[in-house]
Amino acid sequence: MNYKILIIIISIFFLISCEQNNVDKKIFNQQLFDKYTNTGFALIYTDSLKKEKKITKKIDNRSLLIFHKNLKKNSFVKITNPMNQKTIIAEVISNNVDFSDFYNCVITSRIVEELSLDLNEPYVDLVLISHNSTFVAKKAKTFDEEKKVAEKAPVAGIKIDNIGDDVKSEEVSKDRIFAYSIKIADFYYKDSAKNMSRRIISETNVKNPIIQTLSKTKYRVLLGPFNDIKKLEKIFNEIKSLNFENIEILKDV
């Protein structure tokens, strides 16, 4: 009889522990979601991408909407062009779209215009706007009004080819040097950064990761720099098998 009581007590304790773990996991995931930020290249939507099956859904090129693989539908994000600091607010219209993991989001021609993005290098900072922020509390109505205006306004003719190919745009700077690195992660301990570096070398064909000392308690693992976007994308896809979370592409590091 005592054994039966003991088994019941252990079972109850196990169930409570599992439930607590699930709660902790949900809280942790929500915290990650609320703090999401990423820098990298955006994919500029065209109908040809859909025809070529490089993307699985259409998006209205007049809109201030984006596709994203991880952020929740109807989330708001702030997108910034680091080259000129122009910023817009966009809404995630779907997170159930297939496109290359090399891009941190899919944007429209309207967003390209608003940010004056270089079509050769559509490099953006993307920051999630928390549901608790003053924007969501006070500015959602203003965003809806601006979105309606944008959707009615015509989009100027922009020729967009595959990134890395010949692209025609008045925004392209001929003197700009292409130099980007892949940020794997930041670590508190240098030994942790070294372990990550060894893992990259042993599990991929990448043999020259860099450990950058940012401070006494911050060590960054980088790949690069790369002076060609095709090579950058190739290495990015190479390390994708390691399932790193939120890899970023940094300019001129």
Q: What is the mean pLDDT of residues 72-92?
A: 94
Residues present in the chain in total: 253
- Among 12-21, 89-98, 180-189, 221-230, where is mean pLDDT lowest? 12-21
- In the chain, the domains with their CATH numbers are 36-152 (2.40.40.10), 180-251 (3.30.70.1070)
Q: What is the mean pLDDT of residues 73-89?
A: 94
The contacts of residue 25 (CB under 8 Å, 6+ apart) are none
**pLDDT class for 219, splitting at 50, 70, 90?**
very high
Q: What is the mean pLDDT of residues 14-33?
A: 44
Structure tokens at 121: 């290098």
Answer whether residue 25 shows pLDDT above 80.
no
Pairing of strands 65-67, 86-94: parallel
Q: What is the mean pLDDT of residues 193-217?
A: 93
The structure tokens 């940012």 sit at 214
Percent share of the chain, pLDDT over 70: 68
Q: What is the mean pLDDT of residues 216-235?
A: 92
More confident residue, 229 or 174: 229
**pLDDT class for 29, splitting at 50, 70, 90?**
very low
